[in-house]
Structure 1
Amino acid sequence: MPSAIVTGATGILGREIVFELGRHPQQWPTVHALSRSRKEDYPSNVVHSHIDLTSSADDMANDLQNVRGEYIFFAAYLQQDTEQGNWDVNGAMLDNFLQALAKTGAIKNVKRIILVTGCKQYGVHLGATKVPMTEDDKWLTGDDRPPNFYYNQQNILHRFCKEHDIEWTVTYPNDVIGYAEGNFMNLSTAVGLYAAISKELGQELVFPGSPEFYVRFDSFTDSKLHAQFCAWAAMEPRAANQAFNVVNGDAESWQHMWPKVASYFGMKVKPDQFETAWSSKVAGYLGMDAGGVQNLQDRPPIADFANSMGLKGHPVTHQSRVEQVIDLVKWSQRSDVKKGWKTLAEREGLKKDALEKATWTFLGFVLGRNYEVVVSMSKARKAGWTGYIDTWEALEGVFEELAEAKILPKRDS
């Protein structure tokens, strides 16, 4: 029976991989969960080991002396201030970890390595992409493109696996919905806190991002579904040496989900939430004292495909932007917001530091994009993957988990 090694075991994606494998001890009798610290209890078949992925290969090899596994799930990620920093640090973490396994001899047991990346693969952080995004889309490597650390990691993985005759699989999740504390890209916690505090302040729920994105499509990844995919991909012959998009499989937008968020917290969406901020597609934003506009890269990713797709000169190839009706970072620092949270947290017995730990910058970007994000699941479907989850049900489920963890108030009855 197979054994596994999971890095990033406390992260929003790695944590769920650990628990997914932990739920099946007959199939996965030993699961090594690797992280700097242990934050919660694990199933009986999970063994936690300390590791600092920013250390050298020699230091990691010392920590990995007793760690063996046939399948490696590398889900670790360390956010840096620059894209070059992301390239250097995250590439070194993967490279040193793999070299450490070679030093201990554990690599001789490894059959497949599953690398978790994301849809930065397609440049979703740079502006409008070709839609739908498919795994055969060319990499954005032009002179005017910033370094993409996912490319560095995949090149490292490919070279290492070729050298050691090991199979690999790469996943591309997007806008992850999941539970994790202190995670850089935690969409659910910030959305929930924003709604709960808005209610505490006696307000209707206002979408803080782009009016344009509000009515466009987005693709989300439930962290539990992604973990199920990783377990499937580890054992599936058709997943060998392939990269796959991993999203929920439905067509979703915030115009559909935002009223559901409001209802969950016992609120209503403000009917004219965009009236003072949005005049027309030509005029753009007006009176955005609380929010603002941030231009992204001069040439969005779709510009690289413009000529072949007949889109040269089309407005979609012009510079994309992030638009915020409400600047969430500034909002989270307002005195009335802090006071409202303090009152709510004390009354409901919630963790008082949740507000300051929430990822407001990330949520502002995710909700503020003025372009849609559509990810194709065709390749995974053709390979035999049938997993699916309704995105609202995924978000609702995480709200419930966060309530149990005393981060959000319980559902309004």
Structure 2
Amino acid sequence: MKDGRYAANEAILRMKMDLEDGNPQMWDLVAYRILYASHHRTGTQWCIYPTYDFTHCLCDSFENITHSLCTREFTNSRQSYYWLCDAVEVYKPVQWEYGRLNITNTVLSKRKLLKLRDDGHVTALDDPRLYTLPALRRRGVPPQAINAFVRELGVTTANTTIDVVRLENHIRDALNELAPRVMAAINPVKVVIENLPADHLEMIEVPYKPRDESFGTHKVPFTRTLYIDASDFRETDSADYYRLAPNKTVGLLSVAHPITCTDVRKNADGSISEIVCRIDDSGKAAKPKTYIQWVAESPEHGSPVRLDEVRVYDSLFKHANPYDKNEVPGGWLSDVNDKSLIVAKGAVAEVGLWDLIKRYAASAAGKKELAEHHVENIRFQFTRIGYFAFDKDTELPAAAIEGDDIKGTKLIMNRIVTLKEDAKKGSN
């Protein structure tokens, strides 16, 4: 066999086990088979290759593995695992089986993940819509969130399906502790404060995390022209809506005085070109019911920071269990959500974003991570929008990090997770 005297499938080498044993895993399993193929390390040097049943326990033994952990479908293999170690008289690790962990609205089977990739539903096995560890890392999920999630579940022999919300809650808890806040607008709308002079400039000190001084502060420009997120404005007001609307007053985060919408100007196609407001600096205005984020137009301060792409991810599958034939009669691939990725272009953020990038790049950990192109560890909360991190497609030239030359910069953000949802989400 080793010398190539047989064609593929003409001969195999089996282990002499016990054909009368009740466990099929003891019925003289195949140890070696013939395979004429190129190996990624040895090329065509070999034409015989060992099977999983032969190599698994021996590799574990050679590598001094103490416990070989596997899912329940390998329970019958425990006997053959121990048999081979004893037969060749090598150190025998302990095999432990546990129940497979499944998460709602996704698939974790390697074969199905490859099918998703090969059919073009995802770009790669680290596509942030997946729940592989490389995908979670690329999306910006901190490792402590995954560890906390696993610790909460524990180990069981039952096959369980866990609601993805439980994992998301751990992600939010971790990010709430480590992510600084910056103001941004995913779908920016221009606001002009008509009673401020065209050259008005005020530098406002903003905390990176309210009520936590350890995160520090930074200064942002406040000018006559601002951008707010489209979700913070409605043309038609309602009693349960507290953000900006015609003739309505709101506060601007960290700004001393509120603004009131006085006019809405539109383009020829009916879209909003700009919202006209007045700022009430009389000191007599009532305290606003809500405050919204904003980003000023101030080219001399590099504001706004323009984001090339913001990738907003949703569940890859429409149903909690894509395998449920009653819910998904067309099969699991028919349940793929074609709106699982929405790419927003033209988003803007305040200048604190660059400050945080430079702070991170100056730290020892940041230098190491950026050298390895792990920009996903630069995480933020976009105030009242969600938690975001840089995608690996981001380009951060040294000139941009170390100075002010942003030529060649490409800023691409992934939404890690939304903020904690409430019953009135989207209405206040």
TM-score, normalised to structure 1, is 0.29
| More strand per residue | 2
Q: Which has the higher contact order (CA 8 A, sep 6+)?
A: 1
Greater Rg over alpha carbons, structure: 2
TM-score, normalised to structure 2, is 0.29
